[in-house]
C-alpha cells in the first residue's frame, strides 16, 4: 500500500482497520442519504432535520447509540447460542465482500485472481446467518421468513453469476482489478478517451445483475423474507438492540458493497481518464468509485421505494423463466461477439 515497505503484520492491521471502518461508514452514508433523505423526499415528508445541526446528519449515529442502549432480549424458547451468533454471520459475509473491491490502482485489500467468483460466493454466506436467525428464534414468522430467504437465494444466485459471466468473457479475467484495467484499456469505435465501460455492451447483464442484487439484498420488490405486512419482520422479528443493529448494518453494508461491485464490473470502477497510475490515481480512485456507488445505490433504493413486492412463487417464476434465460442468451451473444471480433 502506497509502496510502503511494511511488515506483514502491520499491513494486515491497517487493512483490517480500513475494512472495519468502511462498512459502518458505507452503511451510515447509504442509510442517511437514501433512507432518511431520499425516501423522505419521494414520500413528501420530512426526514429528521434537527440532530447535529445540518439536515439532521447525526440522526443515524444517534439511532446507533439508541440501539446499543436497548435491552438485548433473547426469547425463552430460543436456541441461545445460534440466536446470538446469527447476526455476526450475516455481518461477516458483508465484511468479506469488501476484501476484493479495488478503490484505486493500489488501493485494494487483496487482489484475488478469482475476485468476482470469491465476491459472489461470500455474498451468499449471509443466508446461512439468516437461516440460523429464523430457526433459532423459535418463532413461526421468523421461520417462514428465513425459509423464504433460502429459497430466494437459490433462485437469485444463478442469474447473478450468469450476468457476471458476460463481463468475465469480455474482460478475460476474474480479478476485479483486471476487469477495471480491461475497461480502462478498451475503446469505443476507436475512441479510447474514457475507455470502454462494460455497461455499453453488457446492458442486459447489468439489468439482470441489478435485479438479482435487489433480491440478494432482500429489498422491495423482493423483500419477502422480511415482508413486514405479512411476516411482521421475517427472520428479524425476535431481534432487538445491538443484534438488530447488526442486521441493519449488514443490509446497508451489503448494498454498498454490491453497488461497488456493480460499479467495478460495469462502470469502470475507480478508473478516471486523467491519471491511470501514480499517487493521484490512488487519491481520485475512491472518490470516483464513491460517486458511481451512489448512482447505483440510488437505482437500488429508487426501485425499493417504488414497487410493491412479488409473491414467493412469482419471484421464482421471474428468476427461472425470465432472468436466467435472458442472461444465458446474453452470455451466448457475448461469446459470439468475442470470437467474431
Q: Which residues pair with 58 in a beta bridge?
A: none
**Residue 314 in the binding site for other proteins (CB under 8 A):** yes
- Nearest distance from residue 147's CB to other proteins, in Å? 9
3-state SS, residue 188: strand
- Nearest distance from residue 156's CB to other proteins, in Å? 16
- Nearest distance from residue 98's CB to other proteins, in Å? 29
Distances in Å between the alpha carbon of 63 and those of 29, 51, 66, 70, 299?
Answer: 14, 11, 5, 11, 25
Task: State how far the Cα of 110 lies from the Cα of 96, in Å rounded to an integer.
Answer: 11
CB closer to other proteins, 247 vs 301:
301
**Residue 69 in the binding site for other proteins (CB under 8 A):** no
**Residue 298 in the binding site for other proteins (CB under 8 A):** no
Task: State how far the Cα of 35 lies from the Cα of 58, in Å rounded to an integer.
Answer: 14
Residues 220-259 that bind other proteins (CB under 8 A): 220-221, 223-224, 227-232
Which of the ranges 215-223, 240-248, 259-267, 288-296 carries the binding residues for other proteins, by CB under 8 A?
Answer: 215-223
For every residue of 81-103, DSSP letters joined together read HHHHHHHHHHHHHHHHHGGG--S
**Residue 319 in the binding site for other proteins (CB under 8 A):** no
Given a contact cutoff of 8 angstroms between Cβ atoms, the answer to whether 168 and 116 are in contact is yes
**Residue 154 in the binding site for other proteins (CB under 8 A):** no
Distances in Å between the alpha carbon of 332 and those of 56, 163, 165, 266, 338?
Answer: 50, 11, 10, 18, 10
Interior CA angle at 146 toward 83 and 303, to 5°? Answer: 120
**Residue 77 in the binding site for other proteins (CB under 8 A):** no
CB closer to other proteins, 141 vs 266:
141
Kindly state the number of chain residues that form the binding site for other proteins, as judged by CB under 8 A: 27
Closest CA to 210 of 201, 219, 22: 219
Q: From residue 26 to residue 65, what is the string marking binding to other proteins with x (rule CB under 8 A)?
A: ----------------xxxx--------------------
One of 22, 107, 132, 144 touching other proteins (CB under 8 A): 144
Which of the ranges 66-74, 283-291, 304-312, 320-328 carries the binding residues for other proteins, by CB under 8 A?
Answer: 304-312
CB closer to other proteins, 37 vs 292:
37
Q: Is 246 exposed, middle or buried (0-12, 13-18, 19+ CB in 10 A)?
A: buried
Residues lying near other proteins in the complex (CB under 8 A) = 42-45, 140-141, 144, 220-221, 223-224, 227-232, 305-314
Amino acid at each position: 500500500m502506497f509502496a510502503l515497505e511494511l511488515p506483514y503484520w502491520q499491513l494486515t492491521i491497517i487493512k483490517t482497520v480500513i475494512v472495519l471502518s468502511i462498512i459502518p461508514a458505507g452503511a451510515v452514508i447509504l442509510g442517511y442519504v437514501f433512507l432518511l433523505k431520499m425516501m423522505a423526499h419521494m414520500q413528501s415528508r420530512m426526514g429528521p432535520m434537527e440532530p447535529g445541526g445540518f439536515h439532521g446528519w447525526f440522526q443515524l449515529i444517534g439511532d446507533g447509540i439508541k440501539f446499543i442502549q436497548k435491552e438485548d432480549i433473547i426469547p425463552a424458547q430460543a436456541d441461545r447460542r445460534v440466536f446470538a451468533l446469527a447476526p455476526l454471520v450475516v455481518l461477516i459475509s458483508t465484511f468479506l465482500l469488501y476484501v476484493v473491491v479495488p478503490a484505486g490502482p493500489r488501493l485494494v485489500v487483496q487482489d484475488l485472481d478469482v475476485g468476482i467468483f470469491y465476491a459472489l460466493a461470500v455474498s451468499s454466506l449471509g443466508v446461512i446467518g439468516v437461516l440460523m436467525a429464523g430457526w433459532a428464534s423459535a418463532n413461526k414468522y421468523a421461520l417462514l421468513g428465513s425459509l423464504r430467504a433460502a429459497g430466494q437465494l437459490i433462485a437469485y444466485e444463478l442469474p447473478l453469476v450468469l450476468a457476471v459471466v458476460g463481463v468475465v468473457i469480455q474482460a478475460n479475467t476474474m480479478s476485479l482489478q483486471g476487469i477495471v484495467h480491461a475497461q480502462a484499456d478498451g475503446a469505443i469505435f476507436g475512441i479510447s478517451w474514457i475507455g470502454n465501460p462494460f455497461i455499453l455492451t453488457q446492458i442486459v447483464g447489468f439489468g439482470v445483475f441489478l435485479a438479482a442484487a435487489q433480491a440478494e439484498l432482500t429489498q422491495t420488490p423482493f423483500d419477502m423474507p422480511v415482508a413486514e405486512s405479512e411476516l411482521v419482520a421475517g427472520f428479524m422479528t425476535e431481534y432487538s438492540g445491538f443484534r438488530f443493529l447488526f442486521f441493519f448494518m449488514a443490509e446497508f453494508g451489503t448494498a454498498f458493497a454490491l453497488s461497488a461491485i456493480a460499479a467495478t464490473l460495469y462502470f469502470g470502477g475507480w478508473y478516471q481518464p486523467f491519471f491511470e497510475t501514480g499517487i493521484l490515481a490512488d487519491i481520485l480512485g475512491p472518490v470516483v468509485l464513491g460517486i458511481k456507488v451512489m448512482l447505483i445505490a440510488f437505482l437500488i433504493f429508487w426501485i425499493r421505494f417504488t414497487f410493491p413486492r412479488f409473491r414467493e412463487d412469482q419471484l421464482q417464476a421471474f428468476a427461472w423463466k425470465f432472468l436466467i434465460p435472458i442472461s444465458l442468451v446474453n452470455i451466448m451473444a457475448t461469446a459470439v461477439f468475442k470470437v467474431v471480433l
